[in-house]
Structure 1
């Protein structure tokens, strides 16, 4: 079916359609969204950063306007697909990787598996730092409840958008309509269920992949920024303490009265924080 998504570009990578947005010139920045979301969660940051960076936003496989993978959707598979896309898009130097939620874990996995793609990491309310996650995602791991809960419905789309933001004004009719359109894709439920079951159970996020990934990221010693919204209902802000413990050299920041997407609710402040972080990383010995 035809899905109404905001205008963007398309690449074909390994025979698979990839929806993306590429703007500006300068050091490369790669923006990676969360599970069940699209590159449109980074529209404000994309536009701000494109003034002096080459900014690349991309829909992850099976999300938004990007076709699903032939293989099961797992964290390593998503990271590998992003790497292939960056190669196809001509991003041939290490980039500033910025990931929200699942996108943060994808950014970390990509940096570990192919360090040539990563100059810095900015992890925004990122998956990977704790077991706790909203029950709405934990229930998706239960058969056959997962697919039932993922049925496209306006009330579910509205409830999801309201859960993401501290300020309900950000749960606009446009965002709700986009979420509903994306959920109606034939492969959407399958991709979500595959990802949720590969990353966790009804009890929460699995510890094995988290421990391995964070150990590997710590060994990379990349300049890293970890930020959180203190009113996040998806991944609690207590995970920021775990980030400080596991990545002790990382810079951290807690946004007050902010939900799961500081890049939207605190767009200007987030943009300034990113630029200051990158400037500090450039000066790092």
Structure 2
């Protein structure tokens, strides 16, 4: 498996803050939201596929990749608000399909709760918010001062991270590792990640308070929802899909076999087909 270099991205200023983003295609808007410590480049494959029929917008979340940190605390509500501000600045006026991976799934849910009029549908990909269990690597970041030591950039750490994300190790290319290392070396990367991790969880796992409140609120919405998971996810276990089915019984679900934390990459064609068929069936 050879990773293709990601295409160039653009930047704009939102409330005086630099935001890195990419827009391609035309049609109904789709917004792609990445996970913690990641960037919009996790959606390169889907941006290309979905842009055949949609206006596809991917964005680096605050303090990730090329987007500057927020002035205030880095929390889930703050991230959702930042995405809303970005969509306004990017001219996204119509309800958008939100596709969120990992933390991005929780951000998508939070945005849907805070402003349902912005959202045509939710696609939650190995999403945070459905259980306490999370990889020990993230739980340890909640410990002071261990967290900062663990986030010291190194090629070995970057490679281990990529290996944890993909079940198929052929996706763990030198190019992906080099990109992950470059992202980790951004001055804002470690402080933002530590603040975010500690707001969402402890060494025991993901905090229940925000999860319960968010799922209760999402379950009350009338928004078409698709929840997908990889059965070999080492970051957020596939057992969370059972909780998702119980808490959001109207949602459609799909489990990808022999797939890790990022089905949108490991199963790109199948993922694209699943999502576009879901939108077609739901009339969105």
Report the TM-score, using the length of structure 2 for normalisation. Answer: 0.97
Indicate whether 1:249 and 2:254 are aligned. Answer: no
Residue 121 of structure 1 corresponds to 122
Q: How far apart, CA to CA, are the structure 2 residues paired with 1:38 and 1:172?
A: 17
How far 1:217 moved relative to its partner? 0.5
Q: How far apart, CA to CA, are the structure 2 residues paired with 1:97 and 1:6?
A: 21
Residue 56 of structure 1 corresponds to 57
Sort the Cα spacing of 1:253 and 1:271 in 2 relative to 1 into closer, same or farther, 3 A: same
2:256–2:263 Cα contact (<8 Å) kept: yes
Q: How far apart, CA to CA, are the structure 2 residues paired with 1:175 and 1:99?
A: 20
Indicate whether 1:103 and 2:104 are aligned. Answer: yes
How far 1:160 moved relative to its partner? 0.2
Residue 67 of structure 2 corresponds to 66
1:5–1:65 Cα contact (<8 Å) kept: no
Q: How far apart, CA to CA, are the structure 2 residues paired with 1:53 and 1:59?
A: 19
Cα root mean square deviation, aligned: 1.0
What does 1:77-226 correspond to in 2, within 5 Å?
A: 77-226=78-227
Give deviations 1:113-140, integer Å, cap 9, x for gaps. 1112111000000000000000000000
Give the match's secondary structure for 1:11. strand
Q: How far apart, CA to CA, are the structure 1 residues paired with 2:218 and 2:131?
A: 15
Q: How far apart, CA to CA, are the structure 2 residues paired with 1:115 and 1:93?
A: 12
Sort the Cα spacing of 1:239 and 1:173 in 2 relative to 1 into closer, same or farther, 3 A: same
Unaligned runs of 5+ in 1: none
How many residues were matched structurally? Answer: 280
Give the match's secondary structure for 2:20. strand
How far 1:221 moved relative to its partner? 2.1
Q: How far apart, CA to CA, are the structure 1 residues paired with 2:95 and 2:89?
A: 14
How far 1:6 moved relative to its partner? 4.9
2:39–2:65 Cα contact (<8 Å) kept: yes
Q: How far apart, CA to CA, are the structure 2 residues paired with 1:222 and 1:19?
A: 28
Indicate whether 1:281 and 2:282 are aligned. Answer: yes
Q: How far apart, CA to CA, are the structure 2 residues paired with 1:59 and 1:131?
A: 25
Q: How far apart, CA to CA, are the structure 2 residues paired with 1:127 and 1:135?
A: 15
1:5–1:178 Cα contact (<8 Å) kept: no
How far 1:281 moved relative to its partner? 1.2
2:22–2:57 Cα contact (<8 Å) kept: yes
Unaligned runs of 5+ in 2: none
Give the match's secondary structure for 2:220. helix
Sort the Cα spacing of 1:267 and 1:261 in 2 relative to 1 into closer, same or farther, 3 A: same
- Which runs of 4 or more aligned residues in structure 1 lie more than 3 Å from their structure 2 counterparts after TM superposition? none
Sort the Cα spacing of 1:258 and 1:5 in 2 relative to 1 into closer, same or farther, 3 A: closer
How far 1:5 moved relative to its partner? 7.6
How far 1:26 moved relative to its partner? 0.3
2:6–2:44 Cα contact (<8 Å) kept: no
Give deviations 1:231-272, integer Å, cap 9, x for gaps. 000000000000000000000000000000000000000000
Residue 40 of structure 1 corresponds to 41
1:120–1:224 Cα contact (<8 Å) kept: yes
